[in-house]
Each structure stands twice: as structure tokens, then as C-alpha cells.
Amino acid sequence: MAEKLLPFTKTQLEEIIRRYPTPFHIYDEQAIRENARKLLKAFSWAPAFKEYYAVKAAPNPYLLQILKEEGIGADCSSLAELVLSEVAGISGENIMFTSNDTPAEEYIKARQLGAIINLDDISHIEYLERHAGLPEVICFRYNPGPLLKNGNTIIGYPEEAKYGLTRDQIFEAYRLMQAKGVKRFGLHTMVISNELNAGSFIATAQMMFDLAVDLHMELGIDLEFVNLGGGIGIPYRPGEE
């Protein structure tokens, strides 16, 4: 297991407790910035790489501001998260909005901010168009279902999940968007969470890039981005790496 050290001494912690009433959270800004830079550096071979922080993980505007300064966007799934991102100065395509059973006001807010809207159900197309209008760029969440053989203990098996479009629905959805005049497209999935096996990320990337090629070959779509979701794990227990 990677060595973990507290960024303060016992004496410093006691002083903090005297100054601030408990309970409280302490965030290590230096470590956050260093880790953000390490992640972006690891993908520096891909100039268009973009990281989106899942706001639901810690919806704190100060953290969002720090990450924004490091070049990281916001992954949002609710109106509150969109507003927090806006407060932190994050807008436009630096926001990725993915939601399920979404009220009209949330789509409207996402459109106002210019966020990338990622639909996770084909039936949401008509609802989005009716209440907020179709955006310049549209993205769909792919659920591979039984085509993905291995699940994840947190996310579960894709065929058991309600989120995302099947392979057939993905092609139908992009075809419909083309007919409606949309020109810019993205593709998204989220099939693993807190995953420590690097091979799982490689398999997810291969699956998505293969699908991107198939979409291009069949529909002539040139995807602007492929969002591989998240899921990089943390070694919580001894023996985990």
C-alpha cells in the first residue's frame, strides 16, 4: 500500500481545533494541486485530454476553484452541482452534465451555462428538445450490457443498470440527432468505480474506441471526444496498491 502521511503535526492539529469549532474537514490544497498536475502530466501525450471532477464527490466551491485553476472541469449530475460550478467560475464545455430522470429546469440551466449535455436515456431526447432546445454538441452514455463481461463491485453489472443506451439505441440516437441537424458529438460511459485494476481502464478505453470507429463507419460521425467515465480507485486497505 502506498505510504500516506498527514500534512500536519499533532501540535498543528491541536492548534486548529482551538481556533475552529469541530466538526470540520481539512483539505490538503498542496496535495490536491500536486495530484491534479500529476494526472494531467500523465496524459500530456494527448493534447486534447480533459479531466472532469465529479462534483458529487465533494461539492465544495473552494475545491472546485482550486481544480479550475489547475485546468480541470466539472462533472455535474444535478442543478445544485451546476450552480456550484457556476459560482466557482466554471462554465461552457468545461462542464459535463449527466443526469437521470432530469427536471426541465436542470436542462435549462445546463444550456444557459453552455455545458456539454450527456443523455443517458434515448427517451430524454424529446424532453430536452421540448424544454431546453437541442444544444450545439450532444453526448450519449453507453451501456454495453452483456457485451461487457466483467462488472465492478460498486457500479455492478451493466446489464442490470438502468443507466445508459444499449448499442442499438446508441446508433438510433445519433442517427436521430443527425436528422435534427446536430453536428457535434461526444460519447460517454461509466462502467467502473474505485477500480484498482489498471487493465479495467484499458478494456473500457478499447471498448469505447471500437464503438467510436463503428459509429464513424456506419453514420459518418467524427466524435469530438470520448469520455471514459471515472473510477480510479484509492488503496484504502493494507495490501492494496
Mean pLDDT (10-residue bins), the chain, 241 residues: 78 92 91 96 95 95 97 97 97 94 95 97 95 97 74 50 86 97 96 87 94 98 94 81 74
CA atoms of 103 and 130, how far apart (whole Å): 12
238: how many CB neighbours lie within 10 A of its CB?
6
For 32-227, the fitting CATH number among 3.40.50.300, 3.20.20.10, 3.20.20.140, 3.40.630.30 is: 3.20.20.10
pLDDT at 233: 85
> What is the model's pLDDT at position 154?
44
Query: Which residue in this structure is represented by grid cell 442499438?
Result: 168
Checking DSSP bridges between strand 137-142 and strand 95-99, what pairing results, if any? unpaired
Determine the Cα–Cα distance for residues 65 and 8; give it in Å rounded to an integer: 23
**pLDDT value of residue 142:** 96
The pLDDT of residue 145 is 82
Report which of 54, 55, 53, 62 is spatially closest to residue 24, judged by C-alpha positions: 62
